[in-house]
Structure 1
């Protein structure tokens, strides 16, 4: 029997694809542990919210710190008091100077795209993640990533990871639990069903939100609804056919995905690309960037565009022949990914 301590800092973090991976992976692992003798603890900070109901994984709220201090001080303190525990980090970052464990590095965007980080805060974040990448790829027993693309990227830039890295992908089944809002048009009366393009994006450089703005300018008769936290808007002129929605609920996002003309995802760099997979699972037509991991993940079921060329006619893009979504969706399962994760954890414990 092994003791596994999951770094639950993500339970207090704002929703993102990486946080979604952590939350869904924990729930799926809990379902896989029904007949296991392993002891798995989800250690969470005092400000963690929306705690799931788990039957086989113990949830323990621990420590007084929050954020990075919790991760680097409180979590290590618990593990020092439980020296047989293996630390499992699902969201890119781990405590320094602990017994080697398992960490999921979703991508190394901070390493390969330095020009995307220009503000003081972004540069500080890049410095922190660069330290983590180098330390973790050298120190950990096992590195996991989301896609073959990310595996090759990590192996290229951090050769010490080559012998201990594997792929455990995201999945989409969590969207089946969404309760899509039926009254979304009361809050967004300017959006008509089937008559707008929808995107979950920021104007951060890697998400390529400026491409959406440029495409909107070239397609003035179409409405573009963009949801998410928006940055760098001061340097961008927003045309009249673009609706910047800001943060919206999962229920409203679900409804918009189901009622849009197409879901657009023009990202320049992704380690996996969860939002377009979710949109595909919700029945939307998907227009996706053809960059980095996205063709690997989405296969032949979406309409591809170059994220570097905004001079396109979206009506013509949607004429591309694509396969039924099941060709892609059948490849991904949280249950399968959780089983692979548990196997990787156990292999670390017995080494």
Structure 2
């Protein structure tokens, strides 16, 4: 009988976005499954391994570059362990041993202009190849919103009924203790006196919207946290200079992020493309109001709990926008739960055992 094998390479990375999603669902699959009912394979020299109680842990070789782990190490392992079906959380598939795959979105298919330069062009080419392999050969495709399901089905001519939707969650944020020292480091951030943005700061996160808006409203403060800021300035903003009322904070710990979310005027996400968009969910769990774009999956996910902006138009007043009534997020937070999602995945996995 086939056994499920989780690709545990996400444990070698920082827990943001997809890696966080994989970590939280794997932790709950460990709780739901019987002893050694599901296995997980990870590099043998991993620094920190969660204390799984039921998952069978396979420590295999040492940490390698991700593409080598995917294309060589895992496939050689499965060549001699054909009893396994691989579960992939991160938009990837093994060409010779396709399994069950989470395909969160297909951004690269719709915004080729965002992939500038040779390196990014190669990244897009690799992603397109992987996504088309997933569409053709995956034993089951799982995605994170109805929006993504529709796009995947249309782009690759797949029956949407063959694509499962499993939503993200937010409960990891409950256990984070806010670190208010961020306000000593940046006394210019007064309670309810700034808008806060968090993300990877890739093209689709649309930081340029904030810069354009901030230039028109010099009295409004913006705190922006995210990685790859040097790349951002070169590739996204080109010659644009951030005005003085925007503070680019770079990477921040979850504790400082939570502190900023708790005290912000609102959490702002002007992205023009998201497969789900977890940060607004985290912000809602902190009691913050959210202002998000009316594009891609965001209206589907957040419904009437959010204020909406056009990601291509900065001719609005955020303060006026926030006067509009919105729904409380209680029902939304109950709906988008890692516990619910893990149970759904566990039931899906039963089809393959």
TM > 0.5: yes
CA distance in 2, matches of 1:316, 1:285: 14
CA deviation profile, 1:249-292 (whole Å, cap 9, x unmatched)? 11100110111111100100011111111111121111111101
- 1:340 maps to 344
Following TM superposition, by how much is the alpha carbon of 1:81 offset from its aligned partner in structure 2, in angstroms?
Answer: 2.5
- 2:194 maps to 196
CA distance in 1, matches of 2:15, 2:211: 24
Q: Is the 1:141–1:164 contact (alpha carbons within 8 Å) kept by the matching residues of 2? A: no
Following TM superposition, by how much is the alpha carbon of 1:44 offset from its aligned partner in structure 2, in angstroms?
Answer: 1.5
Query: Any gaps of 5 or more consecutive residues in structure 1?
Result: none
CA distance in 2, matches of 1:69, 1:115: 28
Secondary structure at the residue paired with 1:79?
helix
- 2:308 maps to 304
Secondary structure at the residue paired with 2:304?
coil
CA deviation profile, 1:216-236 (whole Å, cap 9, x unmatched)? 112111110100022331422
- 1:173 maps to 171
CA distance in 1, matches of 2:96, 2:199: 36
CA distance in 1, matches of 2:269, 2:9: 28
- 1:133 maps to 131
Q: Count the aligned residue pairs.
A: 346
CA distance in 2, matches of 1:180, 1:94: 37
Cα distance change of structure 1 residues 50 and 188 upon mapping to structure 2, 3 Å threshold: farther
CA distance in 2, matches of 1:112, 1:279: 28
- 2:226 maps to 228
The answer to whether structure 1 residue 18 and structure 2 residue 22 are counterparts is no
CA deviation profile, 1:148-184 (whole Å, cap 9, x unmatched)? 0000000000114645211011111111111211322
Which of 185, 198, 202 is residue 183 of structure 2 equivalent to?
185
Secondary structure at the residue paired with 1:152?
helix
TM-score (norm 1): 0.94
- 2:111 maps to 113
- 2:7 maps to 7
CA deviation profile, 1:100-141 (whole Å, cap 9, x unmatched)? 420000000011111111122211111111011111111111
Q: Which moved more, 1:43-52 or 1:72-81?
A: 43-52
- 2:90 maps to 91
Q: Is the 1:137–1:161 contact (alpha carbons within 8 Å) kept by the matching residues of 2? A: no
Secondary structure at the residue paired with 1:330?
helix
Q: Is the 1:41–1:58 contact (alpha carbons within 8 Å) kept by the matching residues of 2? A: yes
Q: Which moved more, 1:184-193 or 1:242-251?
A: 184-193
Following TM superposition, by how much is the alpha carbon of 1:43 offset from its aligned partner in structure 2, in angstroms?
Answer: 1.1
Q: Is the 1:271–1:292 contact (alpha carbons within 8 Å) kept by the matching residues of 2? A: yes
For the aligned residues, what is the CA RMSD? 1.7
Secondary structure at the residue paired with 1:55?
coil
Which of 317, 320, 342 is residue 321 of structure 2 equivalent to?
317
CA deviation profile, 1:294-321 (whole Å, cap 9, x unmatched)? 0111111111111111121110111111
Query: Any gaps of 5 or more consecutive residues in structure 2?
Result: none
Secondary structure at the residue paired with 2:179?
coil
CA distance in 2, matches of 1:341, 1:276: 23
